[in-house]
Amino acid sequence: MKRLMCFALSLLLLTGCASAPAGQRAAAAELEADVSSTRHVEAMDTIMALSAYGSNREKALDAAEAEILRLDALLSTGKPDSEVSELNRTGTVTLSEDSKKLVNCAFSLHEETDGAFDVTVYPLMQLWGFPEKEYHLPTQEELADALARVGMDRLRLEGDTLSLDEGQEIDLGGIGKGYTSQRVMEVYRQAGVTSGLVSLGGNVQCLGTKPDGSLWRVGIQDPWKTEGEIAAVVEVEDQAVITSGGYERYFVDESTGETYCHILDPKTGWPVKSGLASVSIVSPDGMLADGLSTSLYILGLEGATQFWRDHSEQFQAIFIDNQGQIFVTEGLKDAVQADAGFTVIPQSEKSAG
Amino acid sequence: MNKRLRSDLLLLGGLAAVGLALFALLSLGRDDGVQVLVRVDGVVTQRFSLSEPRSYTIQTRDEGVNELRIDDGAVWLESANCPDCLCVKQGKIRYAGESIICLPHGVVVELSGQDELALDAVTQ
C-alpha cells in the first residue's frame, strides 16, 4: 500500500516535472550559452536588429549599440557635424582611424572594379534626387555637369589628409554599413560573445554558428515580392551576407513608364541596367561584401563572374537576373537552397562549357 | 482486498487521470506551426497562429495604435499612428525568425516556431 502511495506521488511529481525541469533550468542559467537577447537600434536611416548569445550578451549589445551610434555620427552625410559632412563642406579633412580604413578600402575597390565602385557619385545621387527621395529625371546638361565632379581618381590622399577636387562630395555609405557590421562582430568578440548576428537594414553579418553548432540561415530577398519574401536561403558561419538590388529604391517616370533604380553607373551617370535584379555577397569581410554587392551589380553577370574568378578567395556570390534565374558561385553550391533551383558558376571557365 | 487498498487505488486512478488530462491539455495547447508574437515594450502581449486569418489592434503607450493583419500565411501592420510608419513600410513577413518593428511605439511583431526551416535574418 505504501508502495502504491509512493507510485502515486512520483506520478504526480513526474507530471509537475514535465512543465518545470527545475534542475535543468538551473544548469542552463549557469551557462546561458543558448540564451539570446535582441535589441533594435535606429541609425544610418534604417532599423538595425542585433542579437547575441551567452552570459555576456547584454554587455556585448550595449557596446555594439554605442559603436553603431559612434560610427553613424562619424560617417553620416545627413549630420552636419560628421567627419564626412565636414569634408564635403570644407573640401579637406584629417581622417580618423575608422575613416582611414574606409577610404583605403574604397580606393582599392575602385581600382579592382575598374571604377564601378566610386564614393564620389554623391552629386549624381543628389541630382537624381535619391537621398531626399525627391526624384528628378536630369537633362543631358545637368548630367554632364554632375559627372564632371565625379571620379575617385581626383581625390587626393596625403598621409591622413583627404582632399576633394572642386565641387566633389563623397558618401561612404556604400561600405559604411558593411564596416559597421564588421565592427559589431569585433565588439561581440571583445565582450566574450562567440555567437551573434546583426542585420543592419538588410545587411547581415554573423559571428560563429548558432549555440547548438548549426549554421545561420539567411534568406535572400525575392526582388519581385514584398519585403521579407525570399528567393533563396544561404547557410553560413562567420560571414557577412550583403545584398544590393535595383528594387531597393527606384522611381518610375510616369510619362514613359520607365523605371530608374538608385544604383548609378559612375561612368555614365545613369541608373544601372545590367540585366541583374540583385547581387548578394558572402564574405567574412563585411566592408568588402558591402562594396562588392553594389559594384558587381553594376558590372552585370558576365563582368561579375570574371571578377569573382579572379578574387574567389575573398568572397562568394549569389546573383538573381531579371528573368528570376539564380546563379551561385561554386563555393556556395552546398550552402544555398532555392525552390526555383539555381545554376552553379564554376571556378574554372573551361568546365563551364 | 480491504477498503483502504480500494481507496488507494481510487486515489491512484484519480491522480493518473488528472496527469493524463494535464498532459493532453498541454499537448493540445501547443501549435507546431509558426506563432505570431506581439511584444509591447519587450513584453509578449499576444500570441496568434500564423495560419489563422485575423485583424488585431495593438494598443501601446501614449495612445499608440498599430493595426495588425494575419492572412494568407503572412503577418503585417496595415496602419499605425506612429510618426514615420516605418513599421507599415516593412511589409509582410512569413518566416519564423523574421520580425516587424515599430520603435516609436515599442512594438515588435515576431514570428517564432520550431520550424527547422526558420530564418535567422533576411538580406535585402
Shortest distance between the Cα of A162 and any Cα of chain B, in A, equals 32
Chain A residues with CB-CB distance to B101 below 8 A: 40, 47, 49
Tell me: pLDDT of A139 over 50.
Answer: yes
pLDDT at position A83 is: 96
Q: Contact B26/A206, CB-based, under 8 Å?
A: no
- What is the full DSSP assignment across B31-89? -SSPEEEEEETTEEEEEEETTS-EEEEEEEGGGEEEEEEEETTEEEEEEE-SSS-HHHH
- The string of pLDDT tens digits covering residues A4-19 is 554 544 444 444 444 4
Chain A residues with CB-CB distance to B50 below 8 A: none
The yes/no answer to whether this complex scores an ipTM above 0.90 is no
Q: Are residues B43 and B9 in the same domain?
A: no
Q: Are residues B41 and B91 in the same domain?
A: yes
Q: Are residues B46 and B103 in the same domain?
A: yes
Q: Contact A4/B22, CB-based, under 8 Å?
A: no
pLDDT at position A38 is: 86
pLDDT at position B30 is: 42
Q: Contact B26/A18, CB-based, under 8 Å?
A: yes
Q: Are residues B43 and B79 in the same domain?
A: yes
User: Could you tell me the residue ranges of all domains in chain A?
Assistant: 215-353
Q: What percent of chain B has pLDDT over 70?
A: 84
- The string of pLDDT tens digits covering residues B20-76 is 666 655 544 444 478 898 988 877 788 888 888 889 999 888 889 999 999 988 999
pLDDT at position A225 is: 84
Residue B122 is assigned to a structural domain of this protein: no
Chain B residues with CB-CB distance to A229 below 8 A: 92, 94
In which band, very low, low, confident or very high, does the pLDDT at A352 lie, cut at 50, 70 and 90?
Answer: very low
Work out the average pLDDT over A207-213.
Answer: 93
pLDDT at position B4 is: 76
pLDDT at position A181 is: 97
Q: For B120, name the nearest residue in chain A, comparing CA atoms only.
A: A217
Q: Are residues B19 and B64 in the same domain?
A: no
- Segment among A18-22, A342-346, B49-53 with least mean pLDDT: A18-22
pLDDT at position A20 is: 44
pLDDT at position A65 is: 97
- Segment among A100-104, A139-143, A227-231, B18-22 with least mean pLDDT: B18-22
Q: Contact A226/B91, CB-based, under 8 Å?
A: yes
Q: Are residues B91 and B78 in the same domain?
A: yes
Residue B121 is assigned to a structural domain of this protein: no
In CATH, the number for domain A215-353 is 3.10.520.10
- Segment among A27-31, A56-60, A313-317, A325-329 with least mean pLDDT: A27-31
Cross-strand bridge partners of residue A157: A162
Q: What is the mean pLDDT of chain B?
A: 81
Number of structural domains (chain B) is 2
- Segment among A94-108, A325-339, B103-117 with least mean pLDDT: B103-117
Q: Contact B103/A40, CB-based, under 8 Å?
A: yes
Most confident option among A60-69, A122-131, A252-261? A60-69
Work out the average pLDDT over A257-261.
Answer: 91
pLDDT at position B115 is: 58
A20 touches chain B (CB under 8 A): no
Q: Contact A220/B122, CB-based, under 8 Å?
A: yes
Q: Contact A202/B97, CB-based, under 8 Å?
A: no
Tell me: pLDDT of A129 over 80.
Answer: yes
Residue B124 is assigned to a structural domain of this protein: no
Give me the residue from B23, B120, B124 closest to A216, CB to CB. Answer: B120
Q: Are residues B105 and B64 in the same domain?
A: yes
Give me the residue from A11, A18, A216 closest to B15, CB to CB. Answer: A11
Shortest distance between the Cα of B110 and any Cα of chain A, in A, equals 12
Q: Which domain holds residue B80?
A: 35-112
Chain B residues with CB-CB distance to A289 below 8 A: none
* CA B55/CA A289 separation, integer angstroms: 40
Q: Are residues B12 and B44 in the same domain?
A: no
- Segment among A6-10, A194-198, A282-286, A348-352 with least mean pLDDT: A6-10
Work out the average pLDDT over A295-307.
Answer: 97
Q: Are residues B18 and B3 in the same domain?
A: yes
A280 touches chain B (CB under 8 A): yes
Q: Contact B95/A228, CB-based, under 8 Å?
A: yes
Work out the average pLDDT over B88-116.
Answer: 84
Shortest distance between the Cα of B45 and any Cα of chain A, in A, equals 17
- Longest pairwise C-alpha distance within chain B: 77
- Segment among A94-98, A189-193, B60-64 with least mean pLDDT: B60-64
Q: Are residues B3 and B61 in the same domain?
A: no
Tell me: pLDDT of A143 over 90.
Answer: yes
Q: Contact B122/A228, CB-based, under 8 Å?
A: yes
Give me the residue from B8, B86, B95 closest to A219, CB to CB. Answer: B95
Tell me: pLDDT of A339 over 80.
Answer: yes
How distant is the alpha carbon of residue A217 from its chain centre? 15
Tell me: pLDDT of B89 over 60.
Answer: yes
Q: Are residues B81 and B40 in the same domain?
A: yes
Q: Decide: helix, strand or coil at residue B107.
A: strand
Q: What is the mean pLDDT of chain A?
A: 90
pLDDT at position A167 is: 93
Q: Are residues B11 and B70 in the same domain?
A: no
Is pLDDT larger for residue A195 or for residue A25?
Answer: A195
Residue B80 is assigned to a structural domain of this protein: yes
* CA A33/CA A195 separation, integer angstroms: 9
- Longest pairwise C-alpha distance within chain A: 101
If one counts every other C-beta atom within 10 angstroms of the C-beta of residue B22, the result is 14
* CA A235/CA A336 separation, integer angstroms: 7
